[in-house]
Structure 1
């Protein structure tokens, strides 16, 4: 326990006490001991008695607190409720355990109405194209990331990966020509582009891991080989993070666009997760395999020890900082930012730009 706490404290010292996201404004508090209060018409956040943020309440749309050590004054809560500003409380793992919602809050209703209506117009096509654009670029960048370390050691492998990347980039350009009145008109075309790029990408992953382990190619449910088992378990962890971010953004996780509606299927989760599979999970899994980390299988499934190891590595990856919109944020914060941007895009209030990882 002390090891985890010390690690988290050291990490926090390198980051600001709070993050104020772009319009619509969202305050994200994650440092132990933070205090949220009201001063006139402004939200005030303090650490160790020092003011670290002041922002007018009229600019706020949401407050997210991800620490067990924060406190908030009742007059601050009252002001937020009167203005319809929800206060979301998350555990240290990012799991929402409570939300204080005002009876005056209408943002969720407005957002979900826009989400459902978008399915029948061009907004649905636009948001899916952006999700897939992010996915294809992240697939290419993941191959670039691992290939750059092979350039000197294995020139042939590097050349083979570069060839696959070039083919991916050619196919990805087809997204620009996709058009229609609603997502039902273009779903097949988009999935064809996604599928062809996916085949090339997984060929690249097979080449990158060939010296360490046998990878039969991408398999989903029921896979019994180590790499697919790692990927499937990692995606399940990521999906839980994606679902929480969508709910906090006021979106319906079951109402997607590219993935069709089906009882019990969180279609929007499967749409949105595409943007983050490679930078969050694939990079962790390929690194584990290439570094020779122990991957134990028991009766066709990952052992408990391996599952815990993978979960910890993904958690650490989500806490690393990446550059986005000219600033550095934790990956899990970027996911929440992007979920909010989906909502504002569907409401017609802002543009959406997919997250693309560096390499």
Structure 2
């Protein structure tokens, strides 16, 4: 199975003989640029300006295929998901857990895994620079240790309901992330003007790349949450806000570093992207089309890469799905504890 990416302008996703086709109009001529059985499509990602017919939506839904719309700012603008096939009991337990220690345990574990992955990535970058850049390698190791100290503080937080411990664990997460991003900023060329994470409105090329990469990851986590029978809006770590898919964001925390950050940093360190390929538009940094397509290709390729786990080899996309299912099982009481995903270095 593969992901269908529809970008550019003037394209239409339609159905023809119970197949999904993409039509492109040029001048007065319309031609088919893609054709596939819906059963062979894993997900549809729309990044340009086009249209989709109602029959195409129905055909995709019948085959369990979702559609995600991402704009150039790296924001997920809409999702079309197939009907939920899981038991409603999962969602009932999800809502109940928010006011119980079980919810706080999940929130702590999401942050614990994120911090482990931050330490892992800094450790890897220190190791690869040990001979060529010993001073930077030493600095990275020291910053990794600083995150480790905050990790120990996280473990000292007694598990309770989300409301009782959220501020404490988010404060710890914030301090660890500040150390992580400051360390990264020391490795990136000054011409990229990267100082720190700027949030959803990118102020520099690095943040533009990260935001777009996180949007692609968000779409994958949406799919995993949906098929696990969880409510995408009922998170434990992220604060509830109207329209905010906090459970999706919770799941994302375990995969930002290994799937998105690594790809973005490699593109920068290997000089596959350059500052001149970005421009400011209405106060937001925008990447050129070639850069966006390169990043999208690399992220989607990463999703299909296999990693070796203690029990077997799995694709990254399957690992994300596995974690969502594991959270659901924990909430339903089918397991007594939940241990999230993180990579050793």
**Which TM-score tier does this pair reach, normalised by the shorter chain?**
0.7 to 0.9
Question: Matched residue of 1:208: which SS?
Answer: coil
Moved more, 165-174 or 209-218: 209-218
Q: Does 1:349 align with 2:334?
A: yes
Q: Find the aligned partners of 1:185 and 1:162 in 2 and give their Cα distance.
A: 33
Is 2:135 aligned against 1:156?
Answer: yes
1:92 CA drift (Å): 11
Name the CA distance, whole Å, in 2 between partners of 1:326 and 1:337.
13
Of residues 40, 45, 64, the one that matches 1:89 is 64
Q: Is the 8 A contact 1:89 1:96 kept in 2?
A: no
Q: Cα offset for 1:153?
A: 0.5
Deviation, structure 1 residue 89: 3.1
The answer to whether 1:243 aligns with 2:222 is yes
Match of 1:167 in 2: 146
Alpha-carbon distance in 1 for matches of 2:248, 2:330: 17
Q: Assess if the C-alpha contact under 8 Å between 2:233 and 2:246 holds in 1.
A: yes
Q: State the match for 1:130 in structure 2.
A: 109
Equivalent runs, 1:204-283 vs 2, <5 Å: 204-210=183-189, 213-283=192-262
| Secondary structure of 1:357 counterpart | coil
Looking at structure 1, the residues matched to 88 and 63 of structure 2 have their Cα atoms a distance apart, in angstroms, of 17
Q: Which residue, out of 261, 278, 292, partners 1:297?
A: 278
RMSD, matched Cα: 2.5
Stretches of structure 1 that go unaligned for 5 or more consecutive residues are: 6-64, 70-86, 102-106
Instruction: Choose between structure 1 and 2 for higher RCO, CA contacts under 8 A separated by at least 6 residues.
Output: 2
Offset at 1:284? 0.3
Does the alignment pair 1:179 with 2:158? Answer: yes
Kept in 2: contact 1:213–1:289 (CA 8 A) = no
CA distance in 1, matches of 2:84, 2:236: 29
- 1:214 deviates by 3.1
Task: Work out the CA distance in 2 between the residues paired with 1:92 and 1:272.
Answer: 19
Would the alpha carbon gap of residues 180 and 331 (structure 1) be closer, same or farther in structure 2, given more than 3 Å must change?
closer
The yes-or-no answer on 1:333 pairing with 2:318 is yes
Question: Hey, what's the Cα distance between the residues in 1 that align with 2:251 and 2:39?
Answer: 22
Shift of 1:116: 0.3
Cα distance in structure 2, aligned partners of 1:247 and 1:92: 12
- Deviation of residue 216 (structure 1)? 1.4
1:262 Cα deviation from its structure 2 partner: 1.2
The aligned counterpart of 2:309 is 324
TM-score normalised by L of structure 1: 0.71
Q: Is the 8 A contact 1:243 1:253 kept in 2?
A: yes
- Decide whether aligned partners of structure 1 residues 339 and 88 sit closer, same or farther in structure 2, where only a CA change above 3 A counts: farther
When residues 224 and 181 of structure 1 are mapped into structure 2, their CA distance, relative to the original with a 3 A threshold, is closer
- Cα deviation for residue 88 of structure 1 reads 6.4
Cα deviation 1:176-225 (Å, max 9, x = unaligned):
22125311011110011101100110111112224774311111122221
**Displacement, 1:325?**
3.9
Number of equivalenced pairs: 274
The question of whether the paired residues in 1 share the 8 Å contact of 2:84 and 2:227 is answered with: no
Partners of 1:180 and 1:150 lie apart in 2 by 38
For 1:68 and 1:244, the matched residues in 2 are separated by 13
Alignment-derived partner of residue 98 in structure 2: 119
Whether 2:297 is the aligned partner of 1:312: answer yes
- The residue that corresponds to 1:73 in the other structure is none
- Cα distance in 2 for residues equivalent to 1:187 and 1:68: 39
Unpaired runs of 5+ residues, structure 2, are: 4-37, 43-61, 69-78
Counterpart CA distance in 1 for 2:222 and 2:244 is: 12
> Tell me, what secondary structure is at the counterpart of 1:215?
coil
Alpha-carbon shift at residue 269 of structure 1 (Å): 1.0
| Inter-CA distance 223–211: structure 2 relative to 1 (3 Å threshold) | closer
